[in-house]
Each structure stands twice: as C-alpha cells, then as structure tokens.
Amino acid sequence: MTDAGANWLDILLTFTRLGLISFGGANLAEIERVLVGQRQWITPGTLASGFALGQIMPGPNMLAMTHYGFAAGGWAGAAAATLGFYGPTALLSAAAALAWRRLLGWKWLPTIRSALLPFGGGVLLAGVLVLARGSVQSVAGAVIAAAAFALLTRTRVNPALVVIGAAALGALIGL
Amino acid sequence: MPTHADLLRVFAGVAMVGIGGGLPAHMRRAALGRAWMTELDFAETYTLAQLTPGPNAVNLAAMIGARLRGWPGALWAVVGVLTPGLIAMLAVTVVTLGLPGGLPAPLQSALRGAACAALAVMLTAALPVLRVVGGLRGGWPLALATFAGIGLLRLDLLPVLAVVLGAGLILHRPRPQEQP
C-alpha cells in the first residue's frame, strides 16, 4: 500500500508466477512471502482484509489478487495482477481441456494427482497459518474465528453470510 | 451448442449465484441443465481442473468453455465468471484503499471481524483436501513436510514443490502389473 508506483510489468510477472504455482486453491503462504515480505507491496492487514473481501464477492474467491494489485500499483496494478494471476492458468486449462482425450488415458495422470494432492494440502494448511497471523490479533478475534468455524462445519449456512455476520460483530464490538 | 454470448451470460450468472463458494456445483447445474455436457463429460473436466495450476473455479470455466467452443469459448467463459466479482471488488477496493485519511474505525473493525471468519472459511476448504490426502500412501508425511517447509520455515516454494512432488511421483509411479 505504501508504494503506489510499482511497475505494472513487474506486477504482471509477479502475479503470473503466483498463479502458476497455486494448486487446488489459494497459495496464501507464498503470496504473503512475496507480496508482504519480499516486495512490501501490501501489509499483513491488507492481505487479511483483501482475502476476507474476496469471500463476500460474487465469483471465484481469489479476487483478492485484484485488491492486492490495486494496493501495489493503482488501476494499472489491479489490471496487471488480474491478467497475470488468471490469464496464463486459464490458457493452460483450456489447452489441457482441448487435449483431454489423450490426457485422461495417460497412465501417469493418477500418479501426478496423488503426488500433487499432499503438496496442495500442505500449502492450504500453511495458508491457514499465515492468514491466522494476519487476522487473529485478540482473544475476541480468536472467538469469532472459532465460532465461524463451528457454524460452517455444523450447519449449511452460506460462507458469505458468516463473513458478513462476523464483519457486523467486529464493527459492533470495535474489534 | 452455446454461442459466445450464451457462455458469457451463463458464466456471469454462475458467478453471481456463487457468492461464498460452490462455483463448480453451479457450473455443473448450468452445463447439464442446458444439455451442453453429459455427467461424464463434467466429471472428467472437473478432474482435469484439479490438476492444472491456478484457481479451480476459473480453470473449470476455461475448460468447459474450451470443450464447447474452443479457444474463444474459454475466453468468454472466463470473462463471464470473473466480471461480476471484478466490478464489485474494484468498487470496494477503491473505497477501502483509496480514502485519503484511511478507513473510519468501525469499518476497520468490520474488516478485522470479516478476516477472522475468512480464516475459518479457509480452514473448512482445507479439510476435504486433507481427508483425501490422509487416504494416500505417504500423504500425511508429505503434506506435513510441505506445511513445515512453506508455513514454518518460509522456504522458497519451488524447491519444496520439487522435493514433495518428486517423492510423490516415485511413491505412486505406475506399476506394470496395474496396467490394463
């Protein structure tokens, strides 16, 4: 957020790399390492609040990347981040879909799936840890997170409603 | 067969009903309900979407679009699924990041509360993946090694990926007797 003049090409390439190395979901640990640590384009607070905003937006919940791009370089940064994060991976997916008949019969396909899944699981867990560091800064925050988790696992309530409810609660108690 | 405009419209609709997640289920309903795909087509496409890098829901949109209308189909499906959220996210972003004096205190508190709930959402998204991982040979040790390397030691991702993926490929390599 501090450097509003980051080069758009730099943003494009950085977010392209972040897109290509996320499997099965958000690779938040790597996103934090690069955007907060290495580049210092966003703060840990922006990381957490952008991710939260992504949960209440229509569509894919990693729209937070657009938020981070805007923080790094304004409108051009938002465009570069969106194009970089979604473009190349969508192209790869389309290419894979067009070659699908050959890919699905390939004997290494189940092998690759079984090899990628533990990596994806570990990446997701690391993301939980990184997000917890950025978002839970008080006992009240921990209670809200635990209550949200209980609601999400025990009921069928829409996750967006839980996030909005937690926002209202946060504003009410001055979290 | 859908036209490009159909793809744009249907995927934008999927994004709007998919607030809070569950996009693949909405895409399945949209594609099967219009007889664009069979259940088997969708299952195959969904499996492939898990294997390509990047956000799964966008990958799935690109794949369905590509199967129906080739490269332009993929483009229109992706533009459709991203557009509603992009407009909403940019509007909120300009307000939250663009205010000269920063956000008013109640809004900051609201965002902190939302972030705590988003943490819970992230954890619930990780659980099904971890259940599948638990059923794989070497699944837990490799997942924990990844977690330790990336989350605790903050190592660079690519070496961790190389080691964990390499070990997984060796563990799960196709065996001659398993071939049909």
The answer to whether residue A2 is domain-embedded is no
In terms of domains, do A120 and A157 share one?
A: no
The answer to whether residue A40 is domain-embedded is yes
The answer to whether residue A3 is domain-embedded is no
Mean pLDDT, chain B, as a whole number?
Answer: 88
Contacts of B151 (CB under 8 A, 6+ apart): A29, A122, A125, A126, A127, A129, A130
In terms of domains, do A140 and A115 share one?
A: no
Place of tokens 């943490």: B119
Which residue in B85, B88, B90, B79 sits closest to A70, CA to CA?
Answer: B90
Q: What's the pTM?
A: 0.82
pLDDT value at residue A64: 93
pLDDT band at A3; cut points 50, 70, 90: very low
In terms of domains, do A80 and A161 share one?
A: no
Candidates B59, B97, B174; nearest CB to A108: B174
Q: Is A24 helix (H, G, I), strand (E, B) or coil?
A: coil
In terms of domains, do A156 and A105 share one?
A: no
The answer to whether residue A96 is domain-embedded is yes
Candidates A96, A108, A171; nearest CB to B109: A171
In terms of domains, do A145 and A98 share one?
A: no
Domain that holds residue A149: 136-175
Candidates A28, A112, A171; nearest CB to B113: A171
In terms of domains, do A21 and A51 share one?
A: yes
Which residue in B1, B87, B18 sits closest to B57, CA to CA?
Answer: B18
Cα A73 from Cα B25, distance rounded (Å): 35
In terms of domains, do A158 and A91 share one?
A: no
Cα A66 from Cα A57, distance rounded (Å): 12
Amino acid at B138: G
pLDDT value at residue B178: 54
Mean pLDDT, chain A, as a whole number?
Answer: 88
Check B113 against A127: CB less than 8 A apart. Answer: no
Q: For the segment B48-74, what is each residue's pLDDT rounded down to a tens digit? A: 887 788 888 899 999 999 999 999 999
Q: For the segment A161-170, what is each residue's pLDDT rounded down to a tens digit? A: 898 999 999 9
pLDDT value at residue B29: 85
Contacts of A10 (CB under 8 A, 6+ apart): none
Check A137 against B112: CB less than 8 A apart. Answer: yes
Q: Which of A51-55, B2-6, B98-102, B135-139 has the lowest mean pLDDT?
A: B98-102
Domain count across chain A: 2
Chain B partners of A53 at a C-beta cutoff of 8 Å?
A: 89, 92-93, 96, 111, 114
Q: What is the DSSP letter of B23?
A: H
The answer to whether residue A98 is domain-embedded is yes
In terms of domains, do A130 and A147 share one?
A: no
In terms of domains, do A116 and A172 share one?
A: no
pLDDT value at residue A156: 84
Cα B89 from Cα A57, distance rounded (Å): 7
Cα A163 from Cα A109, distance rounded (Å): 37
In terms of domains, do A91 and A160 share one?
A: no
pLDDT value at residue B101: 67
For residue A1, pLDDT over 60 is answered with no
Q: For the segment B22-48, what is each residue's pLDDT rounded down to a tens digit? A: 788 889 889 999 999 998 888 888 878
Place of tokens 């999400």: A152
In terms of domains, do A154 and A114 share one?
A: no
The answer to whether residue A41 is domain-embedded is yes
In terms of domains, do A128 and A90 share one?
A: yes
Within 116-175 of A, beta carbons closer than 8 Å to B belong to 116-132, 134-137, 141-142, 144-146, 148-149, 151-153, 158-171, 173-175
Q: For the segment B132-164, what is each residue's pLDDT rounded down to a tens digit? A: 899 999 999 999 999 999 889 988 888 998 999
pLDDT band at A25; cut points 50, 70, 90: low
Residue B21, number of CB atoms within 10 A of its CB: 18
Residue B107, H or E segment: helix B105-134
The answer to whether residue A1 is domain-embedded is no
The answer to whether residue A22 is domain-embedded is yes
